[in-house]
Each structure stands twice: as C-alpha cells, then as structure tokens.
A and B are shown apart, each in its own frame.
Chain A
Amino acid sequence: MTDSFTVSSSGAERRRARIRAGLGRRHLFERIFRGLGVLAILIALALVGSLFWMVISKGYPAFTQANLETEVYFDPDIIKVDPPPQQQPGQSAADFRAQRLAWQRQVTMSNWNRVVEQAVRAAVPPGLEITAREATALVDAGERHRLRDIFVENPGLLGERLPFTMLASADVDNWLKGTIDRDLPDERQQLSPATRALADQLLESGAIQFKFAWHIFTNVDSRSAPASAGLAGGLVGSLYMMLVVVLLAVPIGVASAIYLEEFAPKNRLTDLIEVNINNLAAVPSIVFGLFGAAVFIKYIGLPLSAPIVGGLVLTLMTLPTIIIATRSSLRAVPPSLRQAALGLGASRTQMVFHHVLPVTLPGILTATIIGVAQALGETAPLLLIGMNAFVAAVPGTPFDQSTALPAQIYLWQGNENRNFFEARTSAAIMVLLTLMITMNAIAVLLRQRLERLK
C-alpha cells in the first residue's frame, strides 16, 4: 500500500500497469453504454417515424378529393319561384323580412335534386343511360344546398347556365381512389354498376378531377354529406379552448408558482400545497372531465358541449404542469442574481420582477406553450362534458355548442363510412399534429430568441 505510492520508479511502473489492466474493461463499458444509448434513440426515432408514416400515408389522400367539372342550368321549369321580393316604399323592415323568408322557403321547396341531376347529366357522355338516382349518387349530397344558396344570393341566375365544380360523393371518391375493393360483388358495393362505370369514364375524360380539398378547413362536420365534412367547427372550438386556457392557466399558474417559490414561507402548509400540486399533475385527465361535468355544467350551469367548459377543464389540467415547470425554472436562477438585487436594497417583489422573471421568461414560455399544446390534444375530459356530440356549426362564442379537434377525430374514427372516414380521421390527426408541432416550434424559437437577447 505505502509502497505503491512511493515515487520510486518501480512503484510508478506498477501503478501504471495496474491502471492499464483496468483500462480495457473501462473502455468496453463505455462503448456498451454508448451503444445502448444509440439503440434507445434509434428505437424512439423508429417509433415516432412509424407513427408519422402511418398517419401521413393514411391521411394525405384525404386532402385531395374527386370533383366533377360540369355546367349547371338554373332551369325555370324546375325552379318554379316568383321573382324575389323588393322592399316597397313604406313597407316595414319586418314585413319585408317575412316576405323574403317566404320567398326563400319557396326556393328551398324547389326540386334541387333535379337541378343536380341535370348538371350531372350535362357531363355524361352521350349514349350512356343512367337513372336519376344513379346520377345524383355521383355527387355529394351537400351540393344541392350549395346550389340553392348560390341562387338565393343571386336570383338573377334563373334561366342561366353556369360552369360549376361539384364535389363527388364519398362513395365515388372511395371507388376512384380504390379505398373500396373494386372486386367486391355488386350487392356489396355502395354504388350501382352504372354509376361506377360513369365515374370511371368521367375520370378518364377529365370531367372528374382530383383537387385539393380546401373545404376540410372551411366546412363543418356533416353526416348527410360526408364528402364535404370539414374541421372548421373543431378548429374554432379548439381555438376557443386554447384561448380560455391561455387566459386562465397562464396567469394563475405563473402567479402561484412565483408566490410559492419566492414569497410563501416554507412550512407544513406550503409543503402540503406542493404535494397536492404534484398529485394534481398525476390525476388522470378523465377525472378532470368528471369534475367539469359535475361542477361547471351541473352546479354552475354552464352549457353542455361549450368550449368555455372545455377550456376550464383543460385549465385545471394544465395548471399543475405550468406551476411545476415555472417553479423549477425559478429555482434554476443562480442565487448570486438574487443576492445582487437584495444587496442593493431591492424589495423581494422588485427582485422577482426586475431580475428573476426576465431570466426565467424563456423557461416559463416554453413550459406554457408545451402545457397548452398538451391541452390541445387532450380528449378524454372533453368526452365527459359533451364535446363529442355531433355539432354541425362553427361556434360564434365560447359559450356556443361546439366540437373540438380531438373530439372530431374521435367522432370520425367511429363513422360508419369507414372507407371514406379512415383517411379523413388521419387527415384530422395531421392537422392536430401540425398545430402542436407549430406550437412547440414557436416555443423553441421564442426560447432561442429570448436567450440571445440576454
């Protein structure tokens, strides 16, 4: 023992030999550990990669949809309506409105299916015989409402012909995209043989074209006209919920974190609060949904399926995340900075607001954005407060009935028209993921920007 620490040359020799003997094992261990690390990263990447591949490969076809280029004839023989009422001098506004509504009802009563049928026939190559039902099955059921709305806006179209692009029906879209097995026997096909043949012919002739489906973003959900179903309701609903979360969870969370970390005395009570906040972070989100249904809807009486309730529930869920993250970034501020401020005679509040908060801002922002992004994707609590109801409207205010992106995904996933909605579900997931990735990217950018400013 003493011998090996002498400075004699033989002692040094022996020491080096001993170190060298251990070197092989040490390097081996290091290599193994690094290898395991790389393996772990590869597995994680592979999982994330396959998730994205699955979602994108399934979802991207939904962003293009079959459209029929044709011509609409607003046939006066079908659309039998009086000329639209004009406001007479001396006529009251209420009277005029009533008159106008009556006229609109008259327009709606017209046989718009026939107009659609005529429009489809206009694109049918001569010599092909199809029935009226087979013709209307070609285009989406929502198109007749669209034509009617165009006519109401513009009654002068009566007797006119108009080049018009119609959305093909979901069944035709399936058939043309091959999402339904083409070899299935007739009785198991959704479309009659004539419509199927017609669709193929029209695609070949160029009358049917695949186009980018903007309406996914601008239309609301629809059951009767699945091809035109869109995410607008869910998007706006989720947006309102995010708004509520940002307006409530961020100030409340950051303020409580600052108070607990900087001002609160450290005693039993604050320990208890701390433990409970950590517990709250671990509570399953569905429990928050139950709480929301019991308190916000039943007790306070807020409306069912409203983004305000969703936002409140998600606020409860996000609060602990924001509090915990903010506290840990406050704790990371070096004590020397606090001492510098206090030593100059700054009060605690001045120390916090002038020095501590500015350096923790990037951390708080990142935590907040990630917390909000998490809330954006949360589904379980929404199911319990009625946000999975079918709502075909864009909410005007957070108090209106609405759906939300994740709830919309859940609804589409369960739609009976599997062939069509499978892709649509993935498309909705893509939109949701894009939103989240964007938010996280903003978090990273903001953080870098703020840190450079320092």
Chain B
Amino acid sequence: MTSLFRSSLQGVAAPPTALEAGDGYQTVRTPDPKAKPTRLSAHDVCVFYGDKQALENVSIDIPERSVSALIGPSGCGKSTFLRCLNRMNDTIEGARVTGEITLDGENLYSPQVDVVELRARIGMVFQKPNPFPKSIFENVAYGPKIHGLARSKSELEEIVVTSLKRAGLFEEVKDRLHAPGTGLSGGQQQRLCIARAIAVGPEVILMDEPCSALDPIATSIIEELIDELRENYTIIIVTHSMQQAARVSQKTAFFHLGKLIEEGPTERIFTNPRDKKTQDYITGRIG
C-alpha cells in the first residue's frame, strides 16, 4: 500500500515516462475463454488533469457485442476512463491523455483521426439525462442530420422511429413526437438519450451511470434495454450498483484510486475476486 502511494506521489511531481510506465502496479487479469473478439483496446492509458494524475497505466481489452462494466469507489477514474474512449476528455480544460487506445487496431489518438467521425462511431449516454431543449423527434433526428445519414425526410423519420423503438420508448411517445424532450420523465429522458445515441448507428456505446438518476422500475427497463442492445453493440457501462454490473455485464473491470486493479469475466469477479481490494469493494468494505 505504501509503495503504491509513493509511486502515485512521484506521479504528481513528474508524470511517469514511457520507461517507468507499468512498473507501478500489476493489474490482476483473468482471461475469458468464451469472450468475443476484442473491439476496443486500451494500452497504458494515463490521464492528467493539470498536474494531477487521475488514471495510471490502464490497459484493458473490450470484447465486441457484449457489455463491459466499470466499477469502483467514487473518484477512482471510471468516468475519466470512459471519456478517453470517445475523446470527450479533449473538451476538458487541462486534461491530458497518454498511452494508446485502439478501435479495430486504429489508434484513436493518432492525428489522422477526426473526433467528429470518432464520436459518431462511439456514442455516449451520460449520467444525468441531457436531452436537447427541442422536440423528441428533433432530439433523435439531430445525430443523423448532422452526419448526413438520412437522404430524405421519410428516411429520417424511419431512423427516428426505429431508434425510439429500440430504446423501448416509442410506444410511450408516439403521439407526442413533437412535444419537448425535456417534458418527459427522468427514465423516459434517459431512454430518449439512448435512442438519440443509437440513431447515429454507433459501433460502441459508452454509458456513464445511466441509471443513477432513475427509480428501480425505470432502471430495470433500461437494464433490459442494455441486454437487448448487446446483440448489436459493444457497450461499456459505468455503474455504482454491483447488482447492476452483475446483471447486465459479461466483463467487469474494477478501478481504485486511478488504477485498474482487476478485470475479468463478471461472474468470476463477483464470485471469486483475486485481489484483496476488489474483494473488499464488492463486499462493501470500501467505497
């Protein structure tokens, strides 16, 4: 513990160089023989907010068409890591990312990558539902419109309707597609945000505590939805609910103080964690 602390303190004074990278700690990994092929892969990712290091040498493979859960106590860097995956950290003043993240083998941080295209491929749903102050229809239609995905009005309408159906919201809002999206209930708004994200046809969907503002019923609706979406999308979800992680995910990664402590098949992590900190966290002793 003390030695870990010291290395993180050194990180504050001078960010670790590539040579030092990886020698601070070792992530406990349990390979999953049943896992689908890797889609996204992070390698030695470090994130700094100004001088403060928020993530230390995180390396993980995310399999396609499955749900991966990121868990860990508050402030451990889950959201930070998630934001690295679609480069939303670029929008934060003073944030700096080192290391490598690849989508289908292509480095997201290479200069050739256009963030606009990247974010169309990797969509995001936020902790707090944040529909645009526009109509339900326009909320969902916005992404396809700016990316030029619909060639005609009817095509656009079709995209909107299928996205709303996929997000399990269509039946509830079909009579008021032109009512403001902000007038929906919290759970409906979150499903609207999911519909908005999938309308662009992303390959990966990042969800940052999508249910934290919702009641148990709305939560279970969204969990079912995630389970269905898994067939077509690669999903990464941050959650504070161990039960939720256990219910929806196939792979789980446990973060602690900016480090990826342990990752592996969800079942394995929850039934038989190998690291002491993971064990303490899932049994409720830290966090």
Contact = CB atoms under 8 A, between A and B. Distances in A.
Interface of A: 266, 336-347, 350, 354-355, 358-359, 454
Nearest to A337: B130
B133 interface: yes
Interface in B80-138: 86, 88, 91, 93, 115-120, 123-124, 126, 128, 130-133
A342 B130 contact: no
Contacts of B197: 343-344
Chain A interface main SS type: helix
Contacts, number: 62
Nearest to A341: B132
Contacts of B126: 336, 339-340, 343
B147 to A, nearest CB: 6
B196 interface: yes
A358 B138 CA distance: 14
B217 interface: no
B269 interface: no
A355 B132 contact: yes
Nearest to A358: B133
Contacts of B193: 340
Contacts of A343: 86, 88, 119, 123-124, 126, 197
17 contacts: A336-B130, A339-B124, A339-B126, A340-B126, A340-B130, A340-B131, A341-B132, A342-B91, A343-B123, A343-B126, A345-B116, A345-B117, A345-B147, A347-B146, A355-B132, A358-B133, A454-B133
Interface in B257-285: none
Contacts of A340: 126, 130-132, 193, 196
B168 interface: no
A339 B116 contact: no
Contacts of A454: 133, 180
B130 A345 contact: no
B143 interface: yes
A344 B143 contact: yes
A345 B132 contact: no
A153 to B, nearest CB: 60
Given A266-B93, A339-B91, A350-B146, A344 B200 contact: yes
Nearest to A340: B130
Interface of B: 86, 88, 91, 93, 115-120, 123-124, 126, 128, 130-133, 142-143, 146-147, 180, 193, 196-197, 200
A278 to B, nearest CB: 20
A355 B130 CA distance: 12
Contacts of B147: 345
Contacts of B133: 337, 358-359, 454
A165 B193 CA distance: 73
B113 to A, nearest CB: 13
Contacts of A354: 142, 146
A337 B128 CA distance: 11
A354 B145 CA distance: 12
A340 B181 CA distance: 13
A337 B88 contact: no
Given A339-B88, A350-B146, A354-B142, A344 B123 contact: yes
Contact of B119 (A337, A344, A355): A344
A345 B91 contact: no
Nearest to B90: A342
A342 B88 contact: yes
Contacts of B91: 338-339, 342
Contacts of B180: 454
A448 B123 CA distance: 35
A344 B194 CA distance: 11
A336 B120 contact: no
Contacts of A358: 133
A4 B120 CA distance: 59
Contacts of B143: 344-345
Given A338-B91, A344-B142, 18 more contacts: A266-B93, A337-B130, A339-B91, A339-B130, A340-B132, A341-B132, A342-B88, A342-B91, A343-B88, A343-B123, A344-B119, A344-B196, A345-B115, A345-B200, A346-B116, A347-B146, A350-B146, A359-B133
B97 to A, nearest CB: 16
A344 B193 CA distance: 10
A263 to B, nearest CB: 12
A337 B196 CA distance: 13
A336 B91 CA distance: 12
